Amino acid sequence: MALGLIDLFWSTFGLYITVILYLFTIDVVLTIVFIQKKPPEAVLVWVIACLAFPLAFVLLFYIFLGRDYKRKKMFGNKAEMDREVGRALFKTKGTLFESDYSKPGLGQNESLARMLFDSGHSYLTSDNEVEYYNEGDQIFKAMLEEIKGAKRFIHMEYYMIRNDAIAKEFRQALAQKAREGVEVKLVMDASGCHKLPRGFFKELTDAGGKTAFFFPSLIPKLNFGINNRNHRKLFVVDGDTAFIGGCNIGVEYRGEGPLGHWRDDMLRIRGSGAISVEERIVIDWNFAAKDSLKVEDYAPTRQGSGKVSLQVVSGGPDTAARHIEEQYVKMIATAKSYIYIQTPYFVPSEAVTAALVVAAKSGVDVRVMMPSKPDHPFIYWASLFSAGHILRSNVRIHQVNKNGFIHAKVVVMDDAVASIGSANFDNRSLGLNFESNAVVYDKGLAKKVKAAYEYDIEHWCIELTKEEYQKRSRLVKLKEDISRLYGPIA
């Protein structure tokens, strides 16, 4: 009976459905070519997908991955708001920022600092103290201590907050400070936090705190858009203390999840550099909450007592330039002795890949640390393909063993510069999502990050050699060949 009804339905409407799907396919290709203006390799992948797969499958794939043609309209106003906030900050608090890029401390990296300012108005500050964390327990303890000591305000911006014990501890601490009269604002990505119960932050909002979701779906709990996400992890207390890095809020980030021991990184900044983190939070809060906060109202109340220079580099789909990609390419090109990279997802752009290959061929010790097991299988197999490609150029690949997972996004070079932030080495972070990194010009921090990297290599990693990579099975090769198409599509 059921089969008969299906046959009847298809005989009646099948032709119409097929025509609609073909018209949709033509619309997808035309949109990608003439409106999104995707690069040729991305266009070819979509065309092949339309020819090789059922059109209904392509439709679903496009809904989740391809619909970014409205982003100029969505984020055009945001870009102008960003510029206004930046201009007002520099006009009122310009004395916090350095204009002399030849000052001691930058050395051969003067050109990097100058490029980051010219490209994305990443202001340089030089009165900072920095502290590096690479364990979830350390990170959460330090942040909760800062919340407890807050006097003026607490502003937080996170991609993902889990419904678990550590998130509830943060909720309780924030609610307590709100009851004490401290201004508390929390902006969360709507996709990353879609599993949170509707009333999860009721205790906080009842106490006077405020929350906002970035880029929410029109249908609650059903967010089709996985592009254009706010992937930042930022936290500012009282204007002069900030955290920036890659660690979300959840017990898995302290090693209590199914992937085992977890490596993640955050940087605590005390000094004028905190205003650059606060600027980013204010801009994103105003966009998400339809508010009009002024970042200069949240500036530090005193000069920092440190001597560390740093810049905060941000990128996203609201800008034509790819600031994070430019940062990574410039750091790789600038390296003279070594450059070490930690990333959970390694599907680099052609520009980043070329920079890594040239550096390795020039005698620079280039190393990439990545997982040996997937949290997202599709991206993992694409990452393995990318790793195999650069192995041929003597780049060394180290994989975290089966007992844990690496989620850190770290670049350190020449005992001189370290980058710690939210941006992975894939096209999603380099162009499609909102990301922020701190670029720190300090020998002490760089050596500390390098030492932590080398500790992980010795105690926690297995090197993937060219010989081992060649031994992979036919099934693994097939997975890589299919998954590597992820890069240009995204």
Q: Tell me which residues are annotated as active site.
A: 231, 233, 238, 407, 409, 414
- Whether 267 contacts 91, CB under 8 Å: no
The first and second tokens of residue 113, run together, are 């600092």
Distance of CA 67 to the CA centre of its chain: 20
Residue 472: φ, ψ to 5°: -60, 150
- CA dist 135 and 205 (Å) reads 30
Residue whose C-alpha is closest to residue 406's, from 460, 445, 356, 465: 460
Helix axes 350-361, 377-391, angle to 10 degrees: 30
Query: Helix (H, G, I), strand (E, B), or coil: what is residue 194?
Result: coil
How open is the CA angle 163-213-124, to the nearest 5 degrees? Answer: 105
Say how many Å lie between the first and final Cα of the chain, rounded: 43
Could you give the CA distance from residue 289 to residue 242 in angstroms, rounded to a whole number? 21
3-state secondary structure 365-409: EEEEEEECCCCCHHHHHHHHHHHHHHHCCCCEEEEECCCEEECCC
Angular region, 6: left φ>0, alpha ψ -120 to 50, beta rest: alpha
Q: Give the whole-angstrom CA distance, residue 314 versus residue 86.
A: 13
Please list the alpha-helical segments (H only) found in 136-201.
Answer: 136-149, 165-179
Distance from C-alpha of 279 to C-alpha of 172, rounded to nearest angstrom: 26
DSSP state of 273: T
CB 214 within 8 A of CB 247: no
